[in-house]
A = this chain, B = another copy of it.
Amino acid sequence: MQPKGRRGNSGVTIHDVARAAGVSPMTVSRVVSGEKNVRPATRERVAAVVRELGYSPNLAARTLASAETVRIGLLYSNPSAAYLSEFLVGSLEQSSFGGRQLILERCDTPDSERAAIEKLLGAGVNGIILPPPLCDSPTALAAIAGIPAVAVATGRPAESSSVRIDDKAAALAMTRRLIQLGHSDIGFIIGHPNQTASAQRHAGFLEAMAEAGLKVAPDQVVQGYFTYRSGLEAAQQLLAQPTRPSAIFASNDDMAAATIAVAHRQGLNVPGDLTVVGYDDSPLATTIWPALTTVRQPIADMARAAVDILVEDIRNRRAGEPGVTQHQLMDFALIERESSGPGPNAKRSPATDARALDRTAPNVDW
Contact = CB atoms under 8 A, between A and B. Distances in A.
Interface string A303-328: 00000000000000010000000000
A8 B258 CA distance: 49
Contact of A289 (B88, B147, B232): B232
Contacts of A288: 228, 261
A284 interface: yes
A212 interface: no
A103 interface: yes
A67 B7 contact: yes
Given A96-B101, A104-B93, A69 B8 contact: yes
Nearest to A122: B54
Contact of A228 (B54, B86, B96, B287): B287
Contacts of A126: 2, 8-9
Contacts of A2: 126, 147
Contact of A58 (B7, B69, B265): B69
Contacts of A18: none
Interface residues of A, number: 62
A269 to B, nearest CB: 11
Contacts of A282: 81
Scoring A9, A123, A254 by chain B CB atoms within 10 A of each residue's CB, the highest score goes to: A9
A139 to B, nearest CB: 18
A106 B67 CA distance: 31
A69 B80 contact: no
A24 interface: no
Nearest to A9: B124
B124 A10 contact: yes
Contact of A60 (B69, B89, B106): B69
Interface in A59-106: 59-61, 63-64, 67-71, 80-82, 84-86, 88-89, 92-93, 96, 99, 101-104, 106
Interface in A226-253: 227-229, 232
B96 A85 contact: no
B99 A103 contact: no
A1 B125 CA distance: 12
A4 interface: yes
Shortest 3 CB-CB contacts between residues of A and residues of B: A85-B85, A81-B82, A60-B63
6 contacts: A7-B69, A8-B70, A8-B318, A10-B124, A61-B64, A88-B89
Given A8-B68, A227-B287, 12 more contacts: A1-B147, A2-B147, A6-B67, A9-B126, A56-B123, A81-B86, A88-B88, A88-B89, A89-B104, A96-B101, A228-B287, A228-B289
